[in-house]
Amino acid sequence: ARTGAWRDVGTHGTHVAGTIAAAKNGKGVIGVAPGVKISSVRIAEPTSSLFFAENTICGFMWAGDHGFKVTNNSYYTDPWQFNCPDNLDQAAIIEGVRRAQVYAEGKGSLQVAAAGNSNYDLANKTTDSESPNDSTPVTRTITNACLDIPTELPGVVTVASQASGGAKASYSNFGNGVIDVAAPGGDGSTQVYSTLPGGKYGNMSGTSMASPHVAGVAALIASTNPTFTPAQIRDQLGAQATDRACPSDTRCKGTATKNGFFGEGAVDALKAVGGSTPPPGKYFENLADVTIVDNGTVESPITVSGVTGNAPATLKVGVDVKHTYIGDLKVDLVAPDGTVYTVHNRTGGGTDNIVQTFTVNASSEVANGVWKLRVNDNASQDTGKIDAWNLTF
């Protein structure tokens, strides 16, 4: 890699990255998946900011070779908005990027991509008036065989943008059978606020802003389910999305559960990692950070009240511990009477972070009282924190 190759050409990439993983540190904004590892793979040309096929191909293969679970792709491969298989040059772009995406997915990487900002029906292509964008565009007739790359490649999660209130953003591309899911991308005066270079923050809108919301949820799914394949993460994104039916707009084709404006619906981070929204009165959490010191023991309390009788045999213990080398850690749930339930005992070796929901048979414990998450660090050097934890009765 070239020295400094990770640096953002402008501000777009930094804004996208913040939506995915801006830290929960009391400053600015919090990303969808704070605490996940994030890396910048710059594929934009440094002078023109164009994304040519060779760069896209190398980016996918590099991500696959370096263990990326998810990539976000808020761009299309230049210079053609749509690449048509009856043109030899464009056919080569389709095939080259397709092979790179298959390679990356085979290495365990899921690709998430923005649908585009032309308010265009990707399921009913007729013309392309924006290409080539590295010279003077010429309007040409196209068909559905012509593809927006990498957005329309098999296996890629294609993301449409929602405006405030959940409606389709005015600019967002759409298309029944093309759009997989939707997410907030801003529209008009209501935009997405995120990070900018130099420690700054700012607003932007576009499917480029919607896509990282989905990539962040995909990262949460991968963290919660470390053995999931890209296909399983992709399925979970759609299965747990909140259905959104077509409005009274004849351009929107499909059903209430899958259509051209919203795909399988609006992604839902809580459902995607937990399965469902906990019922009122049965969910308790502590979001306060607790620093884990070397060779020490720390605790984080949750006071439970208003629950009748004993805890269930399937008490859900959601743990979010940020710590390098989790093989150092022993994690216990301590019941109000002092009974200890070990949920993690120095496994995982050099893996970072414990982001997982454990099931504990606590049926012998009275539900109400002070429960504690106890973390014991059994080695020196690596440190971290209890980022958050929760109980679902």
DSSP-based three-state secondary structure for 334: strand
pLDDT at position 291 over 60: yes
Residue 281's pLDDT is what?
66
DSSP-based three-state secondary structure for 11: coil
Report the C-alpha gap between 306 and 304 in whole angstroms. Answer: 7
Report the C-alpha gap between 3 and 10 in whole angstroms. Answer: 17
pLDDT tens digit sequence for 159-190: 999 998 899 999 999 999 999 999 999 998 89
CA atoms within 13 A on the CB side of 336: 14
Q: What is the DSSP string of 292-324?
A: E-TT-EEEEEEEE-S--SBPPTTEEEEEEEEES
What does DSSP say about strands 315-323 and 384-392: parallel, antiparallel, or unpaired? antiparallel
Region of poorest pLDDT, from 99-108, 202-211, 348-357: 348-357
110, containing H or E segment: strand 110-114
pLDDT tens digit sequence for 247-288: 999 999 999 999 999 999 999 998 888 755 556 668 898 988
pLDDT at position 4 over 80: no
**Helical H runs in the chain?**
12-21, 53-65, 88-106, 207-224, 230-239, 269-274
Query: pLDDT band for position 350 (50/70/90)?
Result: confident
Quote the mean pLDDT of the chain.
92
- Mean pLDDT computed over 115-143: 96
Query: pLDDT band for position 5 (50/70/90)?
Result: low
Cβ proximity of 50 and 79 under 8 Å: yes
Q: Which two three-digit tokens encode residue 318?
A: 């959601």
pLDDT tens digit sequence for 188-244: 889 999 999 999 999 999 999 999 999 999 999 999 888 999 999 999 999 889 999
Q: What crossing angle do the helices spanning 88-106 and 53-65 adopt, rounded to 10°?
A: 10
pLDDT at position 48 over 80: no
DSSP-based three-state secondary structure for 125: coil
- The one-character DSSP state at 140 is E
Report the C-alpha gap between 280 and 265 in whole angstroms. Answer: 24
Residue 54's pLDDT is what?
95
Report the C-alpha gap between 241 and 212 in whole angstroms. Answer: 15
pLDDT tens digit sequence for 29-44: 999 999 899 998 988 8
333, containing H or E segment: strand 329-334
Residue 334's pLDDT is what?
98
Q: Which class for 298: exposed (0-12), middle (13-18), buried (19 or more C-beta within 10 A)?
A: middle
pTM: 0.73
With the C-alpha atoms ordered 174, 102, 208, 264, is the resulting torsion angle positive or negative?
Answer: positive
Write the CA distances from 163 to 33, 41, 168, 183, integer angstroms: 21, 28, 6, 9
**3-class secondary structure per residue, 278-300:** CCCCCEEEECCCEEECCCCEEEE
DSSP-based three-state secondary structure for 332: strand
DSSP-based three-state secondary structure for 27: coil
Report the C-alpha gap between 105 and 98 in whole angstroms. Answer: 11
- The one-character DSSP state at 167 is P
Domains of the chain: 12-274 (3.40.50.200), 283-392 (2.60.120.260)
- Mean pLDDT computed over 349-372: 93
- Mean pLDDT computed over 62-67: 96
Residue 280's pLDDT is what?
60
